Amino acid sequence: MTDNASATDASLEPPLRRFSTSRRLVGEALGSALLLAIVIGSGIMGERLAGGNVAIALLGNTLATGAGLVVLITIFGPLSGAHLNPAVTLVFALRNEISWKLAGAYVAVQIVGAVVGVWTAHAMFAEPIWQVSTKLRDGPAQAFAEFVATFGLIAAILGSIRFRSEATPTIVGLYITAAYWFTASTSFANPAVTLARSLSNTFAGIAPGSAPVFVAAQLTGAVVASLVFRWLLEERPPAQGGGPCDPQAVQMAAE
């Protein structure tokens, strides 16, 4: 995809829809803001209603985030690709489906939108707008969990686009719903989300000192997943002279 094409075409969800760069950037910013309002707001609501039961609070946080992702990706997918995540944007830049210049702009508006979403959640729940989290999420197990969470997210995106593009919003929402519970870190899987959540001393927060390791693990997981699935999902042309049921063609394709 050339730079001119990438300025007008969504990179994720076929059929490609033509929108201006400014509309795509606003879509990414707005989608990121809504995502963080969902994550932080549902965490505050869950904690207030759970009566000290952390599992119930996490369950509420999980369901709201997974459902919200399905909606946001459905709405913003045809507009901007609904990356809403610098790790996802990095992968599509590596795949030459978005220019590096536009990818940089995507990341900038994702971070700004995410911070605005955190402040929006604080305002809705009468919390102080400016906060800094004190919730430590440290240790190699947490970092490895973020690597796994982001690797799986990229796998879900690339696999669904390759085989069931219309199901991408649901698949991503379901994956994040599951990853909240099977990863030790509760699956941030998003550098913009991580940075923004460091500005909320609420249920879903993360201490600023814990954020850099999370971001590094997320970006590493995204790059590794991109490489693995570039190979795994690559189509090979059929062998010349052999039909789909030709034993020789099957053997050559398997080699």
Q: Is the pLDDT of residue 160 over 90?
A: yes
Residue reference for tokens 């590596």: 94
Domains of the chain: 3-254 (1.20.1080.10)
- The b/e string for 217-242 (b: 16+ C-beta within 10 A; e otherwise) is bbbbbbbebbeebeeeeeeeeeeeee
With a cut of 80, say whether residue 132 has pLDDT above it. Answer: yes
The pLDDT tens digits of the residues spanning 45-88 come to 999 999 999 999 999 999 999 999 999 999 999 999 999 999 99
Left, alpha or beta for 84 (phi > 0: left; psi -120 to 50: alpha)? left
Distances (CA, A) of 221 to 17, 91, 173, 191, 248: 29, 10, 19, 12, 38
Q: How far is CA 157 from CA 59, 193, 213, 232, in A?
A: 23, 18, 23, 14
Which pLDDT score, from 0 to 100, does residue 164 have?
93
35 φ, ψ (degrees, to nearest 5): -60, -45
Q: What percent of the chain lies above the pLDDT cut of 90? A: 84
Closest C-alpha to 117, from 95, 109, 218, 91 = 109
**Residue 164: other Cβ atoms inside 10 A:** 11
Flag the least confident range among 65-69, 123-127, 161-165.
Answer: 161-165
Q: What is the mean pLDDT of residues 196-220?
A: 98
Q: Which long-range contacts (CB under 8 A, 24 or more apart) does 55-58 make?
A: 57/203, 58/180, 58/181, 58/186
Q: How far apart are CA 127 and CA 182, in angstroms?
A: 30
The answer, yes or no, to whether residue 197 has pLDDT greater than 70, is yes
